[in-house]
Amino acid sequence: MHDSFLRALQTQRPQLRRRWEELLRAERVTSGMAHPDSLVYLMDWTLEQLLKELRQARFRRHLDGTTRQNERQQCTCGMNPLLAYFSAAEQAVIEVLFLSVGELSNLSSIERSASLEDLKNALHEVARRDIESFCAVCQSRERHAKKSSTKKEAVA
């Protein structure tokens, strides 16, 4: 992760939050808990978690060629309000930090690509933890898991 990227993330924070909220409001609301008016209050906390994750040693490399792809946590029922929340977050960060001309325009394409990869990995890690936590208390989880196993048995 290039140092100018972390600075850009901090300085572009108001624009990032604004764009994230716009994207979140455009998403389909799957439940009362997925309503954007509820989720916008989590944005500052999530951004702090993202910055904390990016400051970890594994992201403080400088183009050493190693990448670590985190798999996103999947929600069995698809009703987790954080799915759309983190999808909108990823899109907003990419738009605000990488598609706009700003502090990152002086980085080489290799440095930008490495920083983008680090960003996605860090955001996926924060998302995975939060989505897993929410799914752990979901009342639909067991019902959907039973449907899924019944379908698999019928196919076999």
pLDDT number for residue 100 = 65
Report whether 126 contacts 46 (CB < 8 A). Answer: yes
pLDDT number for residue 62 = 47
73: confidence class by pLDDT, cuts 50, 70, 90:
low
In this structure, how many other beta carbons lie within 10 angstroms of the beta carbon of residue 42? 15
- Annotated domain spans of the chain: 3-155
Q: Indicate if the pLDDT at residue 65 is higher than 50.
A: no
pLDDT number for residue 135 = 86
pLDDT number for residue 149 = 55
User: pTM of this prediction?
Assistant: 0.78
pLDDT number for residue 14 = 92
**DSSP E strands, the chain:** none
Higher pLDDT among residues 103 and 46, named by residue: 46
69: confidence class by pLDDT, cuts 50, 70, 90:
very low
pLDDT in tens, 78-93: 788 899 999 999 999 9
pLDDT in tens, 94-150: 888 877 656 677 778 888 888 888 888 999 999 999 999 888 887 665 655 555 555
Interval 62-78 mean pLDDT = 56
DSSP string spanning the chain? Answer: --HHHHHHHHHTHHHHHHHHHHHHHHSPP-SGGG-HHHHGGGHHHHHHHHHHHHTSGGG---S-S---PPPPPPPSSS--HHHHHHHHHHHHHIIIIIISSSGGGGS-HHHHHHHHHHHHHHHHHHHHHHHHHHHHT-SSHHHHHHHHHHHHHHH-
